[in-house]
Each structure stands twice: as structure tokens, then as C-alpha cells.
């Protein structure tokens, strides 16, 4: 049984006090900090880049899980590695046939790497790269915005991915991202996900420590 890790998404934090929110969420028991990087091209939203990550790095020792929702990620991964990312994940939909090379590029920078697929992308695209991944991220909403509704049809894909991971015989984390709530988190874990991203559910909760515990233990 893989360790369950709760990964609050800083996209739902107050950007005027990002450092304080990061510190607070770390003290509330976050295992991983999920950092959503958006370029306004791959997705229809903008968030923050490596300079912000570099500055908030000093506010927490938690694992920085950097989810790149950007075109041509290979042009930027080095900057995210230098900014203090511990894991960098890149989209199959952004990389196309350069996915393998981009994952290798991330690994060569001494950072953990992961592949991400959108809700409508089949799990089979992961087969050629799964062996190189430290983590696989399945989107349970279409990327771009926090606070969207969880897409149920992703659950069978979580199961398929868990099987694929099992076949490798390696310790590969399986992360799910988008629309996670207390109502659906158990079905995600039952399907095989062990890294749970939660943005609005965590940041909108009156007691963030409690909600993190609940997401972990439910
Ligand atoms: C969506 C992002 C998610 C998002 C999660 O593009 O990748 O990480 O911030 O937010 P919630 O949990 O509110 O769906
Ligand atoms: Zn994300």
C-alpha cells in the first residue's frame, strides 16, 4: 500500500500572501505542495513562473510538485529546476513526440519527473514512458482553472494506470488533480491514486489542518 500524500494546490491561495499561505499549509500537514504553472497558451489562464517559485521556496521544506501547463516545456524546465522544484510534470498534450526526451531532460537536471494526461487522453500513451516516471498525473478536470467539477469517467483510467504501474515493479506515485472533495476522494484512492491534489477544497475550508487530515484518512 503506497503512502497517501495530500498536495494542496497553491492556485487557490491568496496570491498577495503566497509565502504566508505556503507556510500555513505546510504547518497544516501538507505532504506535497502542488504548483500550477499556466502560460495562457496551453491553457486559457495565467498563473506564475519560476521567479515566484524561487522566492516562495524559502517558506517551506515540503516537496514542490510543479505541474507545467505550458507549451514547449523543454525551454523552461531548467529554470524550474533551478527555482527549487522537486518534481516537474509535463503534459503529453504539450510535448507530443518529445515527451520522452523532456522527461529525460528533467531527470538529467537531478529532479524527479512525471507525465500528465488530460481526462480525454487514453492511458496507453503513458506506456512508452512509464518506466522513466517518478509520478504519473491524471487530470480529473480539463486543466486551466481551480474549482471545477470532478470528471467521474477518469476513475477507470486511474485503475488502468495503477495496473500499468504495478507491471513496472517500480515505486511510481499516481497523482490525481482536479475537483477533489471529501465526497470523491475515497473513490480516487480505491482506484489506486496515492497523491491527492486539492485546491479549492483545502483553501475554502475553515479549518485547513482538519480538511487535510480528513482527505488523508477518509
Ligand atoms: C487545474 C489545476 C489544478 C487545480 C486544482 O488546471 O491543475 O491543480 O488548481 O484545483 P481544485 O482542487 O480546486 O480543482
Ligand atoms: Zn495541477
Binding pocket residue ranges, ligand 1, CB within 6 Å: 9, 11-12, 34, 36, 67, 141, 143-148, 177-180, 197-201
Instruction: Please identify which of the residues 21, 31, 36, 39 carries the catalytic annotation.
Output: 36
pLDDT at position 126 is 98
Closest alpha carbon to 214 in 190, 184, 193: 184
55 a catalytic residue: no
Kindly report, residue by residue over 15-68, the tens digit of the pLDDT.
999 999 999 999 999 999 999 999 999 999 999 999 999 999 999 999 999 999
* Full residue range of the structural domain in which residue 58 is found: 5-217
Q: What are phi and psi of 118, to 5 degrees?
A: -75, 165
pTM of the model: 0.98
**19 C-alpha to ligand 1 centroid (Å):** 19
pLDDT at position 95 is 98
pLDDT band, residue 114 (cuts 50/70/90):
very high
CATH number at residue 126: 3.20.20.70
pLDDT at 119 over 90: yes
Could you give the number of structural domains in the chain? 1
Amino acid at each position: 500500500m503506497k503512502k497517501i500524500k495530500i498536495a494542496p494546490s497553491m492556485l487557490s491561495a491568496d496570491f498577495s500572501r503566497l509565502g504566508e499561505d505556503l507556510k500555513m499549509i505546510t504547518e497544516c500537514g501538507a505532504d506535497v505542495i502542488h504548483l500550477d504553472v499556466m502560460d495562457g497558451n496551453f491553457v486559457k489562464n495565467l498563473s506564475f513562473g519560476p521567479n515566484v517559485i524561487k522566492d516562495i521556496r524559502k517558506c517551506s521544506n515540503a516537496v514542490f510538485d510543479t505541474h507545467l501547463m505550458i507549451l514547449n516545456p523543454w525551454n523552461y524546465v531548467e529554470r524550474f529546476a533551478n527555482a527549487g522544484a522537486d518534481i516537474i510534470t509535463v503534459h503529453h498534450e504539450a510535448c507530443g513526440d518529445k515527451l520522452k526526451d523532456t522527461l529525460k531532460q528533467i531527470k538529467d537536471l537531478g529532479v524527479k519527473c512525471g507525465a500528465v494526461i488530460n481526462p480525454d487522453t487514453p492511458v496507453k500513451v503513458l506506456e512508452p514512458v512509464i518506466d522513466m516516471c517518478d509520478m504519473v498525473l491524471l487530470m480529473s478536470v480539463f486543466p486551466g482553472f481551480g474549482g471545477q467539477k470532478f470528471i467521474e469517467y477518469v476513475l477507470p483510467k486511474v485503475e488502468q494506470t495503477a495496473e500499468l504501474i504495478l507491471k513496472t515493479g517500480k515505486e511510481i506515485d499516481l497523482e490525481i488533480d482536479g475537483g477533489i472533495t471529501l465526497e470523491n476522494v475515497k473513490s480516487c484512492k480505491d482506484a489506486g491514486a496515492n497523491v491527492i491534489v486539492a485546491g479549492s477544497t483545502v483553501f475554502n475550508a475553515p479549518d485547513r489542518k482538519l480538511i487535510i487530515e480528513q482527505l488523508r484518512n477518509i
